[in-house]
Amino acid sequence: MADLGSNTTAVLTAADVAAVVRSVGVDQFMDHMIEGVREAAKGLDPESTMTIERGGFQYEKPSLGLVEWMPSMELGRAVGIKTVGYHPSNPIQRGMPSVMATTSIHDTANGRLVALVDATLLTAIRTGAASAVVTDVLANEDSRTLGLVGCGAQAVTQAHAMSRVRPIDRIVAFDADPNVAASFASRLPVSVRVDVVDSAADAIVDADIVCVATTVDIGAGPVLPMFGLKAGVHINAVGADFPGKTELPVELLRNALVIPDEVAQCLKEGECQQLTEDDLGPTLPELVQNADSFTAWREQLTVFDSTGWALEDLIAAEIVLGHATRLHIGIHTELQHSPLDPYAPYETI
Amino acid sequence: MADLGSNTTAVLTAADVAAVVRSVGVDQFMDHMIEGVREAAKGLDPESTMTIERGGFQYEKPSLGLVEWMPSMELGRAVGIKTVGYHPSNPIQRGMPSVMATTSIHDTANGRLVALVDATLLTAIRTGAASAVVTDVLANEDSRTLGLVGCGAQAVTQAHAMSRVRPIDRIVAFDADPNVAASFASRLPVSVRVDVVDSAADAIVDADIVCVATTVDIGAGPVLPMFGLKAGVHINAVGADFPGKTELPVELLRNALVIPDEVAQCLKEGECQQLTEDDLGPTLPELVQNADSFTAWREQLTVFDSTGWALEDLIAAEIVLGHATRLHIGIHTELQHSPLDPYAPYETI
């Protein structure tokens, strides 16, 4: 938990976050995140931990994208707000990540901005970690083959996170762009056999666990076939995060236990757009709190509809901030000056 | 308009913002802000300029306060998000401003964070500027006496802004805390006669213009008496910004032309909480766009219900960012790293 007592604002750049992750160790950092998300879900008290459904501006010019904000609060302590830019055309057209984000942490004792943390890497890591928490409950213990549909940045942390909770020894990878599939193995922080295949159907046929994370266009889904899965597969559906964007066939969802991370958000932007609230299984926190009663579902089809839970972002930023403070990484600046006279706005002019 | 082309994020601290305002000149800066708000209101095209009603967390522990966010977008160019901490007990209990804020600017071409600007001083200045824009339409040309109820930080910029649009030569000031009233003149950037009085009634009796900006407790209003105003007074009601917090008597509002800055927000958090939508006059943009048809109201009672218009914050941040870039003020950091491979989140680990 970060120190909220200082008068400065910590600014942690992408390089600072990378330095923290490097120092902690990439596997250990992922484990911290998995544990952080699991503990937050397990101990979730709606009276003291609150999230507000994300809001945002969606637009089609100058290019299709959105800027949105994801707020969460731990009452009596801190508010976290992640602002996210999502531009699916970024990698190909601009050489930039499709998701870029920053998280701000505010002290609720006085409203001060405590920290601003680049959350681009963290968003990918926490999304992997959330999938790992659900997978750890719902995937068979001996899940060894991971099927990937979509091999971009999110797929890297999905695969990494899966390897932390299950003995993954083979990844079968498909991407609509063969170059992205071909480079996938080189981007992984773990050494696993990766077989690149030519279709989503081929990627899932042997899979014990499937992760889907594509930038399929609005209305162009599904990207996963209706049939061809082994029995007892667990699917992490990561890509649907925009009204109209879905990756899974509705028939598949109807046959599965569907775990939404945030019900309202999933119904609006996730795979659950294709369902009604009555069709849904337990939420991520409900699943973790009652994990023992859901392990029987390992024999059946289960789907995690991951649209992103705002609390994950506060947790991720605080883990990094804690390490950064300990390691003296990042700059601390008087971003918000405390004047000698709080009534004198022009004091320093 | 700020340069959105760079790959770095500009971080402008309170000291940087102060340096910009000092370099431009405090009067000239206020004039820029007044002109910026007026032009934005005049040219407002709802198809290309959008604001989303602010959201936030309100809480009573560890102390009464809120953290909220105020988003705006100029389509095809930029999104601005101001995050605000409001803690009325800050000045007395912590020696900190009651309002502390930062504004982030995001490039809608790619979602990148272009700048983070301390908005504590800017919030006070833009709130003054918005009052000036409305006052310039609705107050008599020869308004010379300004009545102030509440003499904190916001009152300083209200008085300053009033002096830029009307020939103010006397300020009659009341604050529930006599020390705050006593120090008011020393905090003003202009040289005007200031008479401190013992009651709100005494502050308004001679006033041509009244600005009300208090931290009155929720449910404890009004702070202004029902009677005692001269004919044709214009009131800027700045303090109501929280459900349950109001400063003006409802009977006074019912007798006035009431200008909301943002209708939904004013009905929820402003003086307009005491009214229904049917009771309201033109919004700030409607007033500016039809200024000539409203000058007849200078002879009557008018009230500006200023809860804060998110676009004001984007304008303020962009004015500062433009000057800061020109003057080489502030740090430019690779907050959001653009990796060599946008698909490789662990590239730099």
Flag whether B347 is in a domain.
no
Do A197 and A105 share a structural domain?
no
| CA–CA distance, A2 with A116 (Å, rounded to integer) | 12
| CA–CA distance, B283 with B47 (Å, rounded to integer) | 17
Q: Which residues pair with A305 in a beta bridge?
A: A237, A260
Do A315 and A301 share a structural domain?
no
**Which residues 199-238 of A have a C-beta within 8 angstroms of B?**
none
| CA–CA distance, B241 with A71 (Å, rounded to integer) | 20
- Contact check, Cβ <8 Å, A83/B113: yes
Angstrom CA distances, B184 to A342, B152, B155, B197, stand at: 12, 8, 9, 12
Out of B81, B98, B338, the one facing A83 most closely (by C-beta) is B81
User: DSSP secondary-structure letter at B86?
Assistant: E
Query: Containing H/E element for A49?
Result: strand A49-51
- Locate tokens 């971003």: which residue? A335
Dihedral over Cα of A53, B60, B311, B322: its sign: negative
| CA–CA distance, B43 with B63 (Å, rounded to integer) | 41
- Contact check, Cβ <8 Å, B100/A110: yes
CA-based R_g, chain A, Å: 20
Phi, psi of A279 (to 5 degrees): -80, -10
Would you give the distance in Å from CA B132 to the centre of its chain? 10
Q: List all residues 6 or more positions away from B121 whose beta carbon is below 8 Å from its beta carbon.
A: A345, A346, B14, B17, B18, B21
Residue range A17-26: mean pLDDT, rounded? 97
How close, in Å, is residue B249 to chain A by CA atoms? 26
Flag whether A231 is in a domain.
yes
- Contact check, Cβ <8 Å, B339/A97: yes
- Contact check, Cβ <8 Å, B65/A125: no
Flag whether B295 is in a domain.
yes
Residue range B243-264: mean pLDDT, rounded? 95
pLDDT of residue B5: 52
Residue range A258-275: mean pLDDT, rounded? 95
Span B284-332, pLDDT tens digits: 999 999 999 999 999 999 999 999 999 999 999 999 999 999 999 999 9
Give chain B's mean pLDDT: 94
pLDDT of residue B63: 84
State yes or no: pLDDT of B87 exceeds 90.
yes
Phi-psi label, residue B15: left if phi above 0, alpha if psi -120 to 50, beta otherwise: alpha
Collapsing DSSP to helix, strand or coil, A196 comes out as: strand
How close, in Å, is residue B162 to chain A by CA atoms? 16
- Contact check, Cβ <8 Å, A111/B189: no
Q: List all residues 6 or more positions away from B222 whose beta carbon is below 8 Å from its beta carbon.
A: B246, B247, B248, B249, B250, B252
Q: How many CB atoms lie within 10 A of CB A117?
A: 32
Domain count, chain B: 2
Do B237 and B151 share a structural domain?
yes
Pairing of strands B257-260, B302-305: parallel
Out of B118, B189, B346, the one facing A349 most closely (by C-beta) is B189
Q: Which structural domain range is residue B55 located in?
A: 9-122+310-333
- Contact check, Cβ <8 Å, A113/B336: no
- Give A5's pLDDT tier (boundaries 50, 70, 90): low
| CA–CA distance, B184 with A236 (Å, rounded to integer) | 60
Angle between helices B26-42 and B153-165 (to 10 degrees): 80
| CA–CA distance, A229 with A129 (Å, rounded to integer) | 24
Do A98 and A69 share a structural domain?
yes
Alpha helices in chain B (DSSP H): 14-24, 26-42, 90-94, 120-138, 153-165, 178-187, 200-204, 250-254, 263-269, 284-289, 291-294, 310-327
| CA–CA distance, B95 with B85 (Å, rounded to integer) | 15
How close, in Å, is residue A266 to chain B by CA atoms? 20
Q: Which amino acid is at A297?
A: W
Flag whether B133 is in a domain.
no
Angstrom CA distances, A152 to A157, B125, B342, stand at: 10, 45, 8
How close, in Å, is residue B226 to chain A by CA atoms? 28
pLDDT of residue A79: 97
Tokens found for residue B136: 């310039």
Chain B residue closest to A93 (CA)? B110
Residue range A215-226: mean pLDDT, rounded? 90
Residue range A228-253: mean pLDDT, rounded? 93
Chain B residue closest to A25 (CA)? B349
Q: Please answer whether residues B129 and B261 qualify as being in contact, where contact means their C-beta atoms are separated by less than 8 angstroms.
A: no
Flag whether A349 is in a domain.
no
Out of A106, A333, A339, the one facing B85 most closely (by C-beta) is A106
Of the listed ranges B4-13, B136-145, B165-174, B213-222, the one predicted with least confidence = B4-13
Span A298-315, pLDDT tens digits: 999 999 999 999 999 999
Do B315 and B291 share a structural domain?
no
How many A/B residue pairs have CB atoms within 8 Å? 268
**Which residues 133-172 of A have a C-beta within 8 angstroms of B?**
151-153, 156-157, 160
Q: Please answer whether residues A159 and A135 qualify as being in contact, where contact means their C-beta atoms are separated by less than 8 angstroms.
A: no
Question: Which CATH number goes with the domain that contains A280?
Answer: 3.40.50.720
| CA–CA distance, A311 with B173 (Å, rounded to integer) | 46
Q: Please answer whether residues B291 and B274 qualify as being in contact, where contact means their C-beta atoms are separated by less than 8 angstroms.
A: no
Chain A residue closest to B80 (CA)? A67
Do B298 and B157 share a structural domain?
yes
Flag whether A156 is in a domain.
yes
Residue range B66-70: mean pLDDT, rounded? 96
Do A70 and A15 share a structural domain?
yes
**Which residues 101-120 of B have a C-beta within 8 angstroms of A?**
102, 104, 106-113, 116, 118, 120
Q: Please answer whether residues A85 and A66 qualify as being in contact, where contact means their C-beta atoms are separated by less than 8 angstroms.
A: yes
Collapsing DSSP to helix, strand or coil, A192 comes out as: coil
Residue range A125-148: mean pLDDT, rounded? 98
> How big, in percent rounded to 5, are the helix, strand and coil portions of chain A?
40, 25, 40
Flag whether A159 is in a domain.
yes
Whether cis (ω within 30° of 0) applies to the bond prior to A189 is no
Span B194-248, pLDDT tens digits: 999 999 999 999 999 999 999 888 889 999 999 999 999 999 999 987 888 899 9
Do B67 and B43 share a structural domain?
yes
Would you give the distance in Å from CA A138 to the centre of its chain? 18
User: DSSP secondary-structure letter at A216?
Assistant: P
User: DSSP secondary-structure letter at A299?
Assistant: G
How close, in Å, is residue A171 to chain B by CA atoms? 17
Phi-psi label, residue A328: left if phi above 0, alpha if psi -120 to 50, beta otherwise: left
| CA–CA distance, B222 with A176 (Å, rounded to integer) | 64
CB-CB neighbors (< 8 A) of B337 in chain A: 13-15, 18, 118, 120
- Contact check, Cβ <8 Å, A73/B50: no
Give the length of chain A.
Answer: 349
Chain B residue closest to A185 (CA)? B344
**Which residues 317-336 of A have a C-beta within 8 angstroms of B?**
331, 333-336
Q: List all residues 6 or more positions away from B43 whose beta carbon is below 8 Å from its beta carbon.
A: none
Out of A69, A106, A336, the one facing B120 most closely (by C-beta) is A336
Do B253 and B267 share a structural domain?
yes
Tokens found for residue B328: 């080489």
CB-CB neighbors (< 8 A) of A70 in chain B: none
- The catalytic residue among B16, B136, B241, B261 is B241
Q: pTM above 0.80?
A: yes
**Which residues 289-318 of B have a C-beta within 8 angstroms of A?**
none
Active site residues of A: 241
Phi, psi of B78 (to 5 degrees): -150, 150
- Locate tokens 């003291």: which residue? A48
Angstrom CA distances, A167 to A148, B61, B152, B347, stand at: 16, 45, 62, 24
Do B148 and B254 share a structural domain?
yes
How close, in Å, is residue B136 to chain A by CA atoms? 23
- Contact check, Cβ <8 Å, B120/A345: yes
Dihedral over Cα of A204, A207, A209, A214: its sign: negative
Do A147 and A113 share a structural domain?
no
Collapsing DSSP to helix, strand or coil, B20 comes out as: helix
**Which residues 33-52 of B have a C-beta within 8 angstroms of A?**
50, 52
Tokens found for residue B179: 């020390």
Flag whether A348 is in a domain.
no
Span A45-88, pLDDT tens digits: 999 999 998 899 999 988 899 999 999 999 999 999 999 999 98
> How big, in percent rounded to 5, are the helix, strand and coil portions of chain B?
40, 25, 40
| CA–CA distance, A164 with A233 (Å, rounded to integer) | 18
Q: Please answer whether residues B100 and B156 qualify as being in contact, where contact means their C-beta atoms are separated by less than 8 angstroms.
A: no
Question: Which CATH number goes with the domain that contains B29?
Answer: 3.30.1780.10
Whether cis (ω within 30° of 0) applies to the bond prior to A62 is yes
| CA–CA distance, B239 with B229 (Å, rounded to integer) | 19
CA torsion angle for B291, B292, B296, B299 (degrees, to 10)?
A: 50
In terms of Cβ atoms closer than 10 Å to its own Cβ (0-12, 13-18, 19+), residue B167 is exposed
State yes or no: pLDDT of B17 exceeds 50.
yes
Do B105 and B199 share a structural domain?
no
pLDDT of residue B339: 78
B190 touches chain A (CB under 8 A): no
CB-CB neighbors (< 8 A) of A349 in chain B: 18, 21-22, 26, 189
Chain A residue closest to B99 (CA)? A111
- Give A3's pLDDT tier (boundaries 50, 70, 90): very low
Residue range B19-48: mean pLDDT, rounded? 96
Report the greatest alpha carbon distance in chain A.
69
